[in-house]
Amino acid sequence: MRQSLLLLLLIFSMAFLSEAKPIRVGVAGMTHNHINQVFDYIGKQDEVEIVGFAEPNKALAMRLLKEHHLPESLWFASLEELIKQTKPQAVCAFNSIFEHLAVVQACAPKGIHVIVEKPLAVNNIHLNQMRALVQKHHIHLLTNFETTWYASHAKVWEIVKQEKSLGNIRKVVFKDGHKGPKEIGCTKEFTDWLTDPIGNGGGALVDFGCYGANIMTWLMDGQKPIAVTAVTQQIKPKVYPKVEDEASIILKYPNCQAIIQASWNWPFGVKDTEVYGTDGILIANRESKMRYIFGEATGSEKWLDLSPLPHERSNIFSYLAAVINGKIDPQKDLSSFAVNEIVVEILSAAKESAKTGKTIYLKK
């Protein structure tokens, strides 16, 4: 009798899963070059159905849809029209950082979840308005970072937090950057706002400083730094006259530090995380192996093979669907609002520090 009941439950569960519909997702904006994540996803997986693109620049939208063999009927001139016509459950923002607030303002009152490209907001004023909307309307507001989907960072968490074999963290060094957005061929629609202090909230400090702030806040379980100190430069003022292209940020915690190096001046793309503990060092990046150093003697280091991430944590869309379906509680994940509101506070303090030449102390 018990076996028959279990069999019936199994059949029912399988039937339920097979009938589960994909999450309906709209796209707000197409100026961010990370929009390619959407095109790479379409047709390859089925947790999410992209129901439309809201982009006021019709020429840009038509060009991108044509390039990716998608129907023009997916285009909407405004997010409001997209929401009205397609009724999405979630919206992904691929517009300027300044425009993130408007996306949340349009979606939150309707109970539509939002995921934005990094960082969450341009400043604390926008952040405070977003926080109020999240609390009032109980939506998920997530932030997408490329580094979230690196298997190496999951392994760092396992070694540091679960195995506790690295000892206590004393210093973390983040190196994130590339030659510069114009040098690597980013589109004009993208660089127009990425290199603008209003549209992006800054230059390299925001563009690449956010990665280290995100990962460090995650490793510190959501703890704010005591103080933030930053130095910025315009090494290429003729190329980037409005914003800094070089930044270094120091985060001070009670028992450790983080050094964030953000640059538009490096010879090639770099996204490295170096974690220094009392018992060892981990060096993580996008590769399928990770260097683990645990002593000074010869042979006291090894390369760790990294397992692929679980499917639901392997990309922005699978993760979004799992969160909305209740399979993942973001809590203090790298994408969570709890972590990324602190990221915005760190970046805002860093900009103030660079401007004033003073160390900025954060309120608890």
Q: Give the amino acid at 8.
A: L
User: Residues 236-287: pLDDT tens digits?
Assistant: 999 999 999 999 999 999 999 999 999 999 999 999 999 999 999 999 999 9
Mean per-residue pLDDT for 130-145? 98
**Alpha-helix runs per DSSP H in 32-77:** 36-41, 58-67
pLDDT exceeds cutoff 90 at 43: no
How high is the pLDDT of residue 14? Answer: 47
Q: Which fold does the domain 2-146 belong to in CATH?
A: Rossmann fold (3.40.50)
pLDDT exceeds cutoff 60 at 11: no
User: Residues 161-185: pLDDT tens digits?
Assistant: 999 999 999 999 999 999 999 999 9
**Averaged pLDDT of the chain:** 94
pTM for this model (two decimals): 0.93
What is the DSSP annotation of 228-296? EEEEEE-S-TTTSSSS-SEEEEEEE-SS-EEEEEEES-SSS-EEEEEEEETTEEEEE-SSSEEEEE--S
Name the more confident of 14 and 305. 305
How high is the pLDDT of residue 364? Answer: 80
Burial class (CB in 10 A: 0-12, 13-18, 19+), 234: middle
How high is the pLDDT of residue 192? Answer: 98
How high is the pLDDT of residue 17? Answer: 45
Domain boundary assignment for the chain: 2-146, 148-310+330-361
Q: Are strands 141-144 and 169-177 parallel, antiparallel or unpaired?
A: unpaired
Distance CA 249, CA 258 (A): 8
- pLDDT classification of 299: cutoffs 50, 70, 90: low
Please tell us whether the domain made up of 148-310+330-361 is placed in CATH 3.40.50.2300. no
How high is the pLDDT of residue 300? Answer: 86
Task: Report the DSSP beta bridge partners of residue 320.
Answer: none
Mean per-residue pLDDT for 36-64? 95
